[in-house]
Structure 1
Amino acid sequence: MAVALAAGMLSATTAHSAVTAAGADLPFTSVEAESATSTGTKIGPDYTQGTLASEASGRQAVRLSTGQRVEFTVPRASNAVNVSYSVPDGQSGTLDVYVNGVKLAKTLTVTSKYSYVDTSWIAGAKTHHFFDNARLLLGQNVQAGDKVAFQATNTQVTVDVADFEQVAAAAARPAGSVSVTDKGADPSGQGDSTQAFRDAISAAQGGVVWIPPGDYKVTSSLSGVQNVTLQGAGSWYSVVHTSRFIDQTGSSGGVHLKDFAVIGEVTERVDSNPDNFVNGSLGPNSGVSGMWLQHLKVGLWLTGNNDNLVVENNRILDTTADGLNLNGNARGVRVRNNFLRNNGDDALAMWSLYAPDTNSSFENNTITQPNLANGIAIYGGTDIAVKNNLVSDTNALGSGIAISNQKFLDPFSPLAGTITVSGNTLVRTGAMNPNWNHPMGALRVDSYDSAIEATVNITGTTVSDSPYSAFEFVSGGGHGYATKNITVDGATVNKVGTVVVQAESQGAAKFSNVQATGVGAAGVYNCPYPTGSGTFTLTNGGGNSGWDTTWADCSTWPQPGSGNPDPDPARNLAKGRPATATGSQDVYTPGKAVDGDANTYWESTNNAFPQAWTVDLGSALAARRLVLKLPPASVWGARTQTLSVLGSTDGSSYSTVVASKDYRFDPATGNTVTVTLPSGTNLRYLRLDVTANTGWPAAQFSEVEAYLS
């Protein structure tokens, strides 16, 4: 259901926003590859679903071919680095590592093994989860200003971001603890240490199980864990290799897990499998801290009694589903100061299934690159707080923060009491929802399955570089339930692609001290869905500025950048937009030419020239270039289509933009044709009028792409 930077670190991802109050206090500093020196190729920015750049931190990264390198200037004294990267599907390799020009004996292993996840049962999902993380102790200390470089050796590698860290020496064994090695655990990682862990837990009741530096293989999950602390020498030293660490439905509590790593082997998402660090309950008054959790389905999937649980100072990376989910019946839980990157569903979620999550909070967490859903999602619950978090670069199907009554299953406890959303910073959050074919805002309040009856107070929010809107109010299930009892006070909105407020439900909200700059289309889009379901009332509480206009046409969505610089100027203006035609053949409908798949195509009625195909770009745009495609397969023999380009701003009166001309489509050149539009072209409706085709008695296009440059 569920589905990252912070104070204490300023990376290129967030430095431009000058944000220091929100997020976690982290032991590392991140540097973006696109801000480093490189002989590779920068990719991005991109906000479209299913691309490498769109899942990258900052929506940009650097692609290295064999022999190319990226060199980082070290921002702080460090002896370790973690690199977020991607390699092509099915490939693995290494990065050579250089410190101040000297090649290290160590290399950094890179692999696609944990990437390219498919979740076909989730509507709107595409192959996603392209990035992975790899870490390395450098074996030496480097200082601020030193140079650390990574060079591709035997495969293409896209480098996204590097985290530089000074890792402390391994901690000493606590007095009186029971070591897993004393019970037969193998720190080489060769032998099976499962029974040794069980024996140590049994022997250490009320005390500490010590996990010395080493690698430990655990082949089946632990259960019956209660009244014990499992402690390692540090997450860079004590490493447990398992995809299922603790799996138990209940515990008397008092469980503390701290200062070690659990690294799994989860390569796909199977929701029926408990492939989680913790699956179930740790019991009341438990804690999880200082953990490095990676390559799992979910970091912590928490059910049952987890009252007063504290989850803090952890890293949760590369999960195929949620980072953490409080799955009902959580009371007094505090999730704070954690770093989450590349989660395959909501990074942090509370889902009030069976019983409400109550008086619980997500505070001062840093979340980056959730690649399928939201950064933070609250699905129901009573008296919940989301405070001082930093969320960046959400991808398809998600907002930075979602406050929602989407239930998924019954029995569900809708939002109740007071929901506090305070002091959060959202950077490049929100995404185009492929199911709705319209965007989701940086912060979304969603009466999906029932009206919002709770009091929702949204204060002190910073929204930067949102590709679409800042605040969205919607009834996502299409039932028209109300979103009401909402207050938005003290927000800074800097650059939104479309609007500040995207109101799509009946209901009401009061806005005070919301100051906006760089608004792409208009201040407000107020068009409740379904049409006639009611009105959304915006009350001006004073102190608002920069967003006093309203989008006038509820028949279409405002496009990013209308009247302002486009946050994604390289995007395909036609992708996903409504398309019509004078005729079509069988399943080869007009929308196939704007679905983003060059293998599907529109074909007009046969033997009926002329034929016209039209797309509504949503607003008048200064398109300068068209790319027309046929499927790239060689069976599509070369052919010439005769066509003209027409344009309209109102959908009724069309003028010729490019006169009729022959265009040659040839599989030898990708079956692709580029049409340059004259300077001064400004159109909302783009029409292709086809009068002949030498290869088939109909007009045919697999993709019609339109670009600003």
Structure 2
Amino acid sequence: MHRTVRGMPALMVVALSAGLLTATAPTAHAAAGASLPFTSVEAESATTTGTKVGPDYTQGTLASEASGRQAVRLTSGQRVEFAVPSAASAVNVSYSVPDGQSGTLDVYVNGTKLAKTLTVTSKYSYIDTGWIAGAKTHHFFDNARLLLGRNVQAGDKVAFQSTGTQVTVDVADFEQVAGAAGQPAGSVSVTSKGADPSGNGDSTQAFRDAISSAQGGVVWIPPGDYKLTSSLSGVQNVTLQGAGSWYSVVHSSRFIDQSSSSGGVHIKDFAVLGEVTERVDSNPDNFVNGSLGPNSSVSGMWLQHLKVGFWLMGNNDNLVVENNRVLDTTADGLNLNGSAHGVRVRNNFLRNQGDDSLAMWSLNGADSNSSFENNTISQPNLANGIAIYGGTDIAVRGNLISDTNALGSGIAISNQKFLDPFSPLAGTITVDGNTLVRAGAINPNWNHPMGALRVDSYDSAINATVNITNTTITDSPYSAFEFVSGGGQGHPVRNVNVTGATVRNTGTVVVQAEAQGAATFRNVTATSVGAAGVYNCPYPANSGSFALTDGGGNSGWSSAWSDCSTWPQPGQSNPDPDPGSNLAKGRPASASSSQDVYTPGKAVDGDANSYWESANNAFPQSLTVDLGSAKAVRRLVLKLPPSSAWGARTQTITVQGGTDASTSSTVVGATGYRFDPATGNTVTIALPSSTNLRYLRLSVSANTGWPAAQFSEVEAYSTS
């Protein structure tokens, strides 16, 4: 068991579709995800004598954290057998064993048992983060790799058999591993400085001496296992190079820890395996903690069992992080933590992160002109696949993200600041060509879903231009696109354009709008929508409305969820509205102006004692209520507070409306209506039988009792 240690809030990610993992194209224009040296095969698609578990999306269950939300449980003597998809000489297996247990799996190739076994353990699993609201014990899976010692061909059978310990097998990655690379000419080998390739001795000083000797050149890490007992610092103007990540292995939980560097650091082609078994946010238990300096690069690395792969602060301008594997971190895979400019993170594979797999967090300064491109992200188990927290001119392109869990979406574009000073989103945020599979989850703090792709004005309004293009969202358990102010303050989400999206088999709705603001949708097509096309219920209820502009080419999601008092459940039918119910109650309301605390939402909150009042001495004024979808409206009931303190008055009202936010027509022309406390300060207006409205607008041009427009309740009914 792992003790909990107090730390900062966390966020995370997950991934992988059933069967073979392939970087499928969201549209014909580009493939999503990384070009990987291995092919993944799901255990549930293999032959087994064990028991399939899942699918399940319930937080805290084993299947909910599995790739494809399914896996295969093996008890003693049971096996799972994979058909190898292509020539391979090595395998990496994602698995889980019960907490506190360890063991081995026997390995068979075409029925012949190998002398080698695959070690499995719970040592790096079952993480508790009690300081993170809504977190449960998580991080159930781990990865174990094995060189088979022989080549297998496409169609050959590789089986894993339990030898006593219960093992749940999730996915197997089959890889043809090239031979070990040779030492570059002129390089300084760490073994020449006394490093021990057996892994028994402490090689820390040998690495430091080699780095000092090789300034401007290459430090060579030959095949072997090297133990480092403390971190490296002062790393600059040097290349650290291994023989390949399957051959050169450094055992260290804190590889580089430095606040600054002159840069020119290039790290490539070896593995760093840590011993991090819990998350302690105050500890620098990271592959890189701090700065590599400008114009540096990291490539071909295998990073595993660390808190964070890359926790990057300070000057990392023009850093390139590519072709790496980051597995089983207790927190983020990579976090650009403020003031990163021109950084490119591309073609990486990340699996089983305990927070955001990839994040940019603009703390102390704005990350700018940086991108996450063509990465494959699988099974983050607490937060988002990719999260952008503030920053200027950021791009998220061509990524494949799957199986997010608990507190995360596949992609989050957010103004959640966590700490100050924070730089909110600015400029243009480009989200293009991404594929999201089974992304989104029930947020236990909100007790409602998070969409596969979320735009979140958590701590402040989103004023950047957010362009979301060429997106594929498949099998989202809940919604596809979510617009929310997650901090509950009702900050607006503005300037969002969603262009060219394919949504298939979404569990609830295509668009989950819970903030005031606006977005334009073009060429967004949906099939097999679970409940309704749109859930449009901004929170708080009086915070204003969210306008969805139809830019053309949309299909398959025109319906609206009709009841803002309930969340749609996956596959739930849209409830038939009660013909006697008030269609306007609790719906988003906006106004041309409001006075002090007398905001538009007070006119639709069901309380006749609270009221909306416009700016004074400035007629005409209008109040607009979004009914969610076009509805037949036959009768309006307008109220002022019933208190006798409200003297009788006449308001001149024009009833207008339409089926979209930008155009409306007159339903009932300007008429004086008398509100009299003797008759309950209530007015009823009959509408023509042909009236069909989504947006109900009441325009007030005069009021004999007060120099402003006033309503305590606006009620709309489908009955005459």
Q: TM-score when scaled to structure 2?
A: 0.77
Write out per-residue CA displacement over residues 357-405 of structure 1, whole angstroms, 9 at most, x where no aligned residue: 0000000000000000000000000000000000000001000000000
**Counterpart Cα distance in 1 of 2:17 and 2:100:** 34
1:28 aligns with 2:48: no
Stretches (4+) displaced over 4 A: 13-20
Residue of 119, 123, 144 corresponding to 1:109 = 119
**Counterpart Cα distance in 2 of 1:441 and 1:13:** 25
Number of the residue aligned with 2:19: 12
8 Å Cα contact 1:297/1:322 also seen in 2: yes
Number of the residue aligned with 2:184: 174
| Offset of residue 2 of structure 1 | 4.3
**Counterpart Cα distance in 2 of 1:315 and 1:218:** 21
Helix, strand or coil for the counterpart of 1:551? coil
Write out per-residue CA displacement over residues 453-487 of structure 1, whole angstroms, 9 at most, x where no aligned residue: 10000000000000000000000000000001000
Q: TM-score when scaled to structure 1?
A: 0.78
Distance 1:455 1:434, change over 3 A: same
Write out per-residue CA displacement over residues 426-465 of structure 1, whole angstroms, 9 at most, x where no aligned residue: 0000000000000000000000000001000000000000
Distance 1:15 1:286, change over 3 A: closer
Write out per-residue CA displacement over residues 543-592 of structure 1, whole angstroms, 9 at most, x where no aligned residue: 0000000001000100101149xxxxxxxxxxxxxxxxxxxxxxxxxxxx
1:549 aligns with 2:556: no
| Offset of residue 25 of structure 1 | 0.1
| Offset of residue 13 of structure 1 | 5.7
**Counterpart Cα distance in 2 of 1:265 and 1:371:** 19
Residue of 368, 373, 383 corresponding to 2:378 = 368
Percent identity (aligned)? 83
Q: Which has the larger radius of gyration?
A: 2
Number of the residue aligned with 2:149: 139
Q: Structure 2: where are the runs of 5+ without partners?
A: 1-9, 575-720
8 Å Cα contact 2:23/2:32 also seen in 1: no
Distance 1:412 1:10, change over 3 A: closer
Helix, strand or coil for the counterpart of 2:482? strand
| Offset of residue 253 of structure 1 | 0.1
1:535 aligns with 2:542: no
Distance 1:469 1:107, change over 3 A: same
State how 1:36-435 maps to structure 2 within 5 Å. 36-435=46-445
Write out per-residue CA displacement over residues 519-538 of structure 1, whole angstroms, 9 at most, x where no aligned residue: 00000000000011000000
Write out per-residue CA displacement over residues 586-631 of structure 1, whole angstroms, 9 at most, x where no aligned residue: xxxxxxxxxxxxxxxxxxxxxxxxxxxxxxxxxxxxxxxxxxxxxx
CA RMSD of aligned residues (A): 1.4
8 Å Cα contact 1:488/1:512 also seen in 2: yes
Residue of 489, 501, 510 corresponding to 2:511 = 501
Residue correspondences, number: 562
8 Å Cα contact 1:17/1:464 also seen in 2: no
Number of the residue aligned with 1:486: 496
Write out per-residue CA displacement over residues 486-529 of structure 1, whole angstroms, 9 at most, x where no aligned residue: 00000000011000000000000000000000100000000000
Distance 1:10 1:465, change over 3 A: closer
8 Å Cα contact 1:5/1:11 also seen in 2: no
State how 1:481-630 maps to structure 2 within 5 Å. 481-563=491-573
**Counterpart Cα distance in 1 of 2:18 and 2:319:** 30
1:473 aligns with 2:480: no
**Counterpart Cα distance in 2 of 1:35 and 1:543:** 37
Helix, strand or coil for the counterpart of 1:519? coil
8 Å Cα contact 2:21/2:39 also seen in 1: no
**Counterpart Cα distance in 1 of 2:98 and 2:573:** 38
Write out per-residue CA displacement over residues 392-426 of structure 1, whole angstroms, 9 at most, x where no aligned residue: 00001000000000000000000000000000000
**Counterpart Cα distance in 2 of 1:560 and 1:13:** 26
Helix, strand or coil for the counterpart of 1:182? helix
Helix, strand or coil for the counterpart of 2:528? strand
Helix, strand or coil for the counterpart of 1:162? strand
1:444 aligns with 2:454: yes
| Offset of residue 3 of structure 1 | 1.8
**Counterpart Cα distance in 2 of 1:37 and 1:255:** 46
Tell me the amino acid that sits aligned with residue 199 of structure 1.
D
**Counterpart Cα distance in 2 of 1:360 and 1:13:** 31
8 Å Cα contact 1:5/1:366 also seen in 2: no
Tell me the amino acid that sits aligned with residue 262 of structure 2.
S
Q: Structure 1: where are the runs of 5+ without partners?
A: 565-709
Tell me the amino acid that sits aligned with residue 387 of structure 2.
A
| Offset of residue 266 of structure 1 | 0.2
Write out per-residue CA displacement over residues 281-334 of structure 1, whole angstroms, 9 at most, x where no aligned residue: 000000000000000000000000000000000000000000000000000000
